[in-house]
Amino acid sequence: MPLSSLLRTGPRLGPGAIRLKPSSRSSTRVASTLSNVNGERSVLSSILIANRGEIALRVGRTAAKHGIKVTTLYTDPDCRAQHALSSPYAFNLGETSAYLDGDRIIEIAKREGCQGIHPGYGFLSENPSFAQKCTEAGLVFIGPPWKAIEDMGDKSRSKEIMTAAGVPCVPGYHGEKQDPAFLESEADKIGYPVLIKAVKGGGGKGMRIVKSKAEFQDQLRSAKTEALNSFGNDHMLIEKYITTPRHIEVQIFADKYGNCVALGERDCSIQRRHQKILEESPAPHLPDATRKDLWAKARSAALAVGYEGAGTVEFIFDNDTGDFYFMEMNTRLQVEHPVTEMVTGQDLVHWQILVAEGAPLPLTQEEIEAKIASSGHAIEARIYAENPDRGFIPDSGRLLHVRTPKETDHVRIDAGFVAGDEVSAHYDPMISKLIVRGATRDEAIRNLSVALEEYEVAGPVTNIEFLKAVCKSPDFVAGKVETGYIEKHREELFTKQPIEDEVLAQVALACLVNGSSSVSQTQGKFSSPAGSALGFSPGYQQRHFAFTEAQSSTGTQNSSHEVQVRQLSEDTFQVTVNGRTFDQVKSHSDRDSQVITSFFPHTRLDTTVIQEEDFIVAFQRGRQYRFTVPRAKWMEKALGVKDVTNSVLAPMPCKILSVEVQEGDVVEKDQPLVVIESMKMETVIRSPHHGIISKVMHKKGDQCKSGTPLVEFAGEDGA
């Protein structure tokens, strides 16, 4: 049977699978007037978006485009967030966790006369109970049937269904027995390395790679704790861990009439903490026969559970053998769906709404394949507030400055924040998604590199510089990707680049513009007459600056730099950086854009310099530079700053899950000290060196701000 016939009619279903109603639809596009199975008009005119951030804004854009009234929700920390401000119909749910209050959300939707609820992704999007309650309340759940969510959300049950439907699965134990000793014995049978995975998990939470029998129980306990905190369920499955895997997923869509199509695949192999940061379509170096087989198996998975709407079937592809295995099915719209939209030219949110209204799918498989064949290549980069140099731990805080690349037909930005917004410690730290397209993969990578160089974010630490490094990595450019790519290329990706003297010169000149007394020591007289280009009189003599590079990835002592600036005339300066002198530097500044332009003897430079208190971020020629300014001891005392030289600090706002040491304990380097949770992610804080614990600052359950001391080590004198 030709593939096109298989994709139209569906494969034979395994025992126990649900058969969809056969389709009588022709290959023509759907008509503008929609009807449900009874022939009655069923068009949504008002929906509630049960989510936050960029996905709430993204769903709202499509709804507005098609004349659908949107109601949005927010919590106390999100009261000034962009999604809360995007609709005049916005309601406060209250406490931080209230996005999970399904009953309250349904109550608001009914009170506001909404006909449907779009759950976005995360939160309630894969909660079968919520989907069922929506239906029982007379609301259209813009997603799959609740039974399909339930079956696919349980990883053990989903494996049973896939095996029955002829979809290959990774060898492992997926049963109900959860005794730790029994699970260890199953891991022994499978053979190490194995993957421990939460049955109800997702997004890398409740997942651990176990390399040997000796570490199994520790990893199991950690995975169970994280799963219980994230999903309220700590049941685990054990699978064989493939050593050189790729993560390849297929976007599928099904309607109420038996139509099910695959809209191509996405390679999501570039990951950290088992979470994706780069996704692309089509998957590089994938044989065409394998590609089509993946599409067919993904459709088999959807048909096996009576699926409707958008879904993603995720596979593990073994780079060594070329085999692939079903991993899980995400019964919702994926974070990376814009990649598929770029290569198909379709609005998948609109497709979701059409299917929910009872319409057949807008395109046939043949039409989709034709679009994919002529659309080139697309890549999405997730812009996160996180620190790659410190294990990709999440960051939070106010966005002091945001400048984005210009959006075109080939560059798209789905953002949830603008400058001045607060990235909350309570939720996922994703700031935006940057999606690009090119005629070829090489062109798409070049377009992504350029767009990343134009993307400026100051405030919380972001992963933008790390993404730039990935885009320049030779193996990534060659398409040699796997889920362990970051770890295997760690030395290359985390190599610290030297700071050019011109960057430091520009930062010092910008500090003059800001009149910053906290970053310099003044020599000679200083005045600020109106009309002078930089605000300084020609009689000014010299100023001295000291800058320290922000924390390095190597953990070594950060470099400090000395800069002297002498004003020669109204707009001309002599700048000396670490002993190197630039003469006759002409400078002017645009205070609105915070860009300083300087004409050095050998080049012109435009540098964005953002300063807040003792923290400086500079952007020059596509790179970001972060500095801190050393405070004088007398200033620290005046401000009441506590000496934390011998302390281990909280790397982010967090909750203490457990304390692993006591006062007086002798600890070794990398020994666990405290286990914390932030943004539903568990992190083990380890000892930076050998030493004696003199004080434990917090107990289990405490909430801590970023930078709060967690434990103190005894000083050299033992105190």
Q: Give me the phi and psi of 507, to 5 degrees please.
A: -65, -45
Q: Which residues pair with 615 in a beta bridge?
A: 612, 628
Known catalytic residue at 332 = yes
CB 692 within 8 A of CB 671: no
Q: State which H helix or E strand residue 586 sits in.
A: strand 580-590
| Bridge-based pairing state of the strands 260-272 and 245-254 | antiparallel
| Placement of tokens 């709804």 in the chain | 63
Q: Which residues pair with 682 in a beta bridge?
A: 677
Cα–Cα distances in angstroms (integers) from residue 183 to residues 150, 236, 595, in the given order: 24, 9, 59
Closest CA to 684 of 368, 266, 390, 384: 390
123 secondary structure, DSSP code: T
Longest dimension (CA), the chain: 90
| Sheet of 709-713, strands arranged across | 647-649, 709-713, 691-696, 666-667
Please state, in angstroms and rounded to a whole number, the distance separating the CA atoms of residues 423 and 624: 19
Question: Which stretches within 640-712 are classed as H helix?
Answer: none
CB 160 within 8 A of CB 174: yes
CB atoms within 10 A of CB 521: 11
| Bridge-based pairing state of the strands 205-210 and 236-240 | unpaired
Cα 324 from chain centroid? 25
Mind giving me the DSSP string for 267-303? EEEEEETTEEEEEEESPTT--HHHHHHHHHHHHHHHH
CB 155 within 8 A of CB 170: no
Angle at 61 between CA 56 and CA 66, to 5 degrees: 125
Angle at 334 between CA 332 and CA 340, to 5 degrees: 120
Mind giving me the DSSP string for 622-657? TEEEEEE-PPPHHHHHHHTPPP-TTEEEPSSSEEEE
Classify residue 675 by burial, with Cβ atoms within 10 Å: 0-12, 13-18, 19+.
buried
Classify residue 709 by burial, with Cβ atoms within 10 Å: 0-12, 13-18, 19+.
middle
Catalytic residue, from 8, 52, 272, 332: name it.
332
Please state, in angstroms and rounded to a whole number, the distance separating the CA atoms of residues 15 and 489: 45
> Residues with catalytic annotation?
332
